[in-house]
Structure 1
Amino acid sequence: MEPFGRPDAAEMRAYADELRATFTRLHQEAPALHEKARAVQVTEKSRDGLISATVGPRGDLIRLDIDPRVYRRPDSRELADSITETVHRAAEKARERVVELFEPLIPAEQMAAHLDGDLERVLDQMAGRMLGKG
């Protein structure tokens, strides 16, 4: 490594080779992984078991089931909070499953940053790799 943290030509070449190999693997394997990711569905139950929420890979609500026993306690705020919390837990698990699917090709933290739409974190990770810090 050169002074001031600047990579030398060999390090840059090695990183470029690594990027090329990763791109080739992505090009070959990503379509199948993408199909698997699109098929992800996660179902979670509320803590009391009266709410069941199924979400897709982006956390989009696919199905919501409410046990009729929920009406024994007619508290609309509690019901709304329980639904929201259950859907959020299901969405987080779906996100984790998508990250796991792509982990053989994309580091988990990088994939998570992409899914979060955190461009700054993605660019910081790439810069760190280019500079030999990750």
Structure 2
Amino acid sequence: MGASEQPDVAAMRAYADELRETFTRLQEQGLELHAKAKAVQVTETSSDGLVSVTVGPRGDLIRLDLDPRIYRRPDARALADTIAATARKAAEAAQQRVMEIFEPVIPAEQFKAHLEGDVEAAMAQLVDGIGGDR
């Protein structure tokens, strides 16, 4: 390994210090942040105002409200699509809220990669942090 191929030791130490500080903040604030995230509930309403969906922090359905006016246009497919779209919108908003709660200790992009199970993106962020190559 030539001198130009050696990792920047100072950068790696700085990143290790940053990770240690992040870990310490997680230890100190983790339970409080977890409780806040666990309590997240988001309600979204469809553009026509006939469907309201409330989800929890993971996008799990908590409540579904249908305005009785839905029966004026008996289109089951359109209703199903409206419910699904409104639930997706609520789930995305809940995920965003959870990321905002944890942002003081975990960068949003990194947290999102973990939530979405994107191992490649999470690893790329780790490698970028230490200034290395994959």
Q: Does the residue aligned with 1:64 lie in a helix, a strand or coil?
A: strand
Q: Tell me if 1:20 matches 2:24.
A: no
Question: Following superposition of structure 1 onto structure 2, how do residues 68-87 of structure 1 map, counting pairs within 5 Å?
Answer: 68-87=68-87
> Structure 1: any 5+ residue segments left out of the alignment?
none
Asked if structure 1 preserves the Cα contact closer than 8 Å seen for 2:40 and 2:94, the reply is: yes
- The alignment-based identity, stated in percent, is 62
Normalising by structure 1, we get a TM-score of: 0.93
Structure 2 equivalent of residue 40 of structure 1 = 40
Cα distance in 1 between the residues matched to 2:84 and 2:13: 49
Aligned AA (1:62):
I
TM-score normalised to the size of structure 2?
0.93
More divergent stretch after superposition (72-81 vs 19-28): 19-28
Q: Which residue identity does 1:54 align to in structure 2?
A: T
Task: Give the whole-Å Cα distance in 1 for the aligned partners of 2:9 and 2:46.
Answer: 55
What is the 5 A alignment of 1:1-134? 3-4=4-5, 6-131=6-131
8 Å CA contact 2:51–2:64 kept in 1: the answer is yes
Distance 1:8 1:113 in 2: 26
State the superposition RMSD in angstroms.
1.4
Amino acid aligned to 1:43 = T
> What is the letter of the counterpart of residue 41 of structure 1?
Q
Q: Amino acid of the residue matched to residue 57 of structure 1?
A: P
Given that residues 42 and 90 in structure 1 are in contact (C-alpha distance below 8 angstroms), is that contact kept between their aligned partners in structure 2? yes
Please say if residues 46 and 86 of structure 1, whose CA atoms lie closer than 8 Å, have aligned partners that are also in contact. Answer: yes
* Stretch deviating more after TM superposition (10-19 or 108-117): 10-19
The 4+ residue runs of structure 1 with deviation greater than 6 A are none
Are the counterparts in 1 of residues 43 and 55 from structure 2 also a CA contact under 8 Å? Answer: yes
Question: Which amino acid in structure 1 is aligned with residue 58 of structure 2?
Answer: R
Pick which of 123-132 and 58-67 moved more.
123-132
